[in-house]
Amino acid sequence: MKDEEKVLKMLQQEMDKKMEQMNTAPNPAIDNLSPNDMQLILYKTFEKESLIQFKKQIGNDVLDQIPFLSLMIDYLTVIQEAKELKLTAKGNLLRKVCHELYARGYIKEKDIETGFTKLNKEEDSVVLQNLKIIAELAGLTKKKHNKLSLTKKGTKLLLPEKKFNLFKEIFKTNYRRFNLGYHDRYTEKINLGNSFGYTLYLLLKYGKEEDMLSFYADKEMMAFPMYLEFFDGTWGKPEEQFFSCYAVRLFERFLSYYGFVKIDRDILFERSETKMEVTDLFREVFEIKKENYKFKFRRMKRRR
């Protein structure tokens, strides 16, 4: 019996060893990351063992350059000064508040700037809708009797010395809890927030040299081919539909709001032409911790 237990133990050890080798081996489909690396990027995106990190020292001179953060601070300040901010009968921001916030000029929307859409109500602005929803999802605001007020958490994070914490809270909420497809008509069956850590990794690794948005979309499709199953090809190929969805949800209506990328909206849907610039601001906020890579290299002995 002891011999059998010994054999079983040896077999289990061998299986564990092979599994460890598989999980720490570079995989070409995921940009030569190991499965262990990918797990950390997707499910523990900013935790200490992950490859992706917020930089530890981010001063107000950097944070002040983030448009959506500045807009959020102004929004929370308006609520704080009002103590209870009255909403419309439909529960939306009053026209006066919409005009006041949009006029700050942090984020301009093409349809409003060109006069195609007139800002009369909250629904006329994608940015203002996102702002209000994300503040609530992050637990910064609460609504009672059709009035908005700050929560204890919101009041605390509005303090000047908590600006970095506020940024991290709204940024994480933006991709983890907010519906990135809230304003578009693409399929609701895929949640790009679930794989957003991989996009961050790619932008950090290739952002200085690769400026074609299709480069990042192709790598996303290679890593997550199941996404294509949810595009029916009613217009264009599934790859083209995915590209447009990816561009709108992650770049046009998310990362650009934070000033982390610059993208030409006029050619946004032209796969072969859409260029995207990863800004210096992005690199001042995020970094890759190379020492956290989990894949292992076999050291080759030098031949004499």
Q: Where are the beta strands (DSSP E) in 17-66?
A: 52-54
Q: Report the pLDDT value the prediction gives residue 270, as an integer from 0 to 100.
A: 67
Flag whether 293 is in a domain. yes
Mean pLDDT of 96-105: 98
Provide the pLDDT confidence category of residue 297 given band limits of 50, 70 and 90: very low
Can you say whether the dihedral through the CA atoms of 207, 209, 211, 215 is positive or negative? negative
* 238 shares a domain with 289: yes
Q: In angstroms, rounded to a whole number, what is the distance separating the alpha carbons of residues 268 and 247? A: 7
Q: Report the pLDDT value the prediction gives residue 26, as an integer from 0 to 100.
A: 85
Q: Which domain holds residue 291?
A: 29-51+187-304
Q: What is the tens place of the pLDDT at every residue in 12-40? A: 554 545 455 555 688 999 999 999 999 99
Mean pLDDT of 253-267: 89
Q: Report the pLDDT value the prediction gives residue 16, as an integer from 0 to 100.
A: 45
Residue 65: is it exposed, middle or buried by C-beta count within 10 angstroms (0-12/13-18/19+)? middle
Is the pLDDT assigned to residue 47 strictly greater than 50?
A: yes
How many CA within 13 A on the CB side of residue 170? Answer: 32
Q: Report the pLDDT value the prediction gives residue 236, as an integer from 0 to 100.
A: 77
Q: In angstroms, rounded to a whole number, what is the distance separating the alpha carbons of residues 238 and 14? A: 42
Q: What is the tens place of the pLDDT at every residue in 184-219? A: 988 889 999 999 999 999 999 999 999 999 999 999
Backbone angles phi, psi at 85, to 5 degrees: -90, 115
* 191 shares a domain with 304: yes
pTM for this prediction: 0.88
Query: Structural domain tally of the chain?
Result: 2
Backbone angles phi, psi at 93, to 5 degrees: -70, 145
- Among 176, 203, 230, give the residue marking a domain's end: 176
